[in-house]
Amino acid sequence: MDYRDTEEEQRWRTEVRRFLRAEAPTEYIDEHIPAVDTYGLGDELFQGWRAKVAKQGWIAAHWPKEYGGAALSVMEQFIMKEEFARNRVPHPGGRQVEMVGPTIILHGTDEQKAELLPPILEGEHIYCQGFSEPGAGSDLAALQLRAVREGDEYVLNGQKIWTSNATSCNWMFLLARTDPEAPKHRGISYFVTPMETEGLTVRPIPDMAGGAELCETFFDNVRIPAGYRIGEENRGWYVAMTTLDFERSGIAGAIGLQLNILDLVEMVKPLPEGSPDRLELAELYLASEVARQMSYQVAALQDRDEVPNYEASMVKLFSSELSRRYATSAVSILGLAGQLMAGSHGHEVNEGRIARYLSGSLPSVIAGGTSEIQRGIIATRGLGLPRG
């Protein structure tokens, strides 16, 4: 691939950089304050930043302009996310922009598009994902949440788990089984629903880092209008697999990890020549550069109208495993202080973010497809090996 920007790409990169220099909150750039709630609720700093990005028309970078998007090319999306990441500022999209919106654009009716897309762009509808269940994680098609048609409504009964941010979102997109007699991939339908729907209960699941983003949700005769079913009945699995051709290289994660490693280097300098910690930091940085190069490869494939299948799995697998290694190494290098969470009477490092990052890195090799699933995709689709 050619690493050089074209003249048009360079002009776009310059435009993004100018916007970030003029408008990005200093709390993100200079103080390295992370977004408290990247789904938009309960974080005034993030809400203010979101409004500025929305004014530029960059919230839904990959959506067609007719639906309020920016219709950016793959490389323009890649460059924007790369520059945002380098400046440590979040892109305020979220699941509603990256996942729900494209699904509605491709599979929704004109009425659904008119009703559901504008609130996403305005930041009024913040979605959580209702996919995983206690007995349906990696094998998602085994889900059992039941949806029975009654007139113009569906009645849902069952449970979802690991419904991230369910307590701070006001809408959910979910999959439910509408035909229990059909083969498991063919009896599923895709729905959206407000979280305040009667019979829908959310229960937070505290994690080891003191957070409560993870949740389980219960459906007790929850009634969803048939007009909130997206796509055909019993075709929800294929609707859920839909994505528009938007940039999904993982560049923001790769650069974010690289910046974290550089921050760690600054925390522990100077280290004696040849020390194990110094060598580990060097290896971590080299590995982060590999992750960045892999992200470039995915973007280049998409720019050529190719589908990065196993290549995207390679990025996810390598980056999540590297994130875990970085967190473990950071706590080891920093010693006991690196294990302390925020509120440890000033003895914690970097306001306890290192310890929280370690705890948060544990599910990184599970969320979004486990490392085992990613290895299977790479083996079968990339290497052509037979299924086990």
3-state SS record for 132-181: CECCECCCHHHCCCEEEEECCEEEEEEEEECCCCHHHCCEEEEEEECCCC
Reading phi first (left if > 0) and then psi (alpha if -120 to 50, else beta), residue 225 is in: beta
Between CA 360 and CA 368, with CA 365 as vertex, the angle to 5 degrees is: 100
Backbone angles phi, psi at 270, to 5 degrees: -85, 150
Evaluate the CA torsion angle 342, 344, 346, 347 in order and state its sign.
Answer: negative
Q: Among all residues, which ones are annotated catalytic?
A: 247
What's the Rg (C-alpha) of the chain?
Answer: 22
Q: Which of 253, 261, 252 is nearest to 327 (CA)?
A: 261
3-state SS record for 208-277: CCCCCCCEEEEEEEEEEEHHHEECCCCEHHHHHCCCCCCCCCCHHHHHHHHHHHHHHHHHHCCCCCCCHH
Are the C-beta atoms of 56 and 19 separated by less than 8 Å?
yes
Q: Distance (Å, rounded) from C-alpha 318 to C-alpha 250? A: 11
Q: Distance (Å, rounded) from C-alpha 319 to C-alpha 104? A: 30
- Residue 159's DSSP bridge partners are 218
Do β-strands 127-130 and 171-177 pair in parallel, antiparallel, or remain unpaired? parallel
CA atoms within 13 A on the CB side of 25: 20
Are the C-beta atoms of 39 and 94 separated by less than 8 Å?
yes
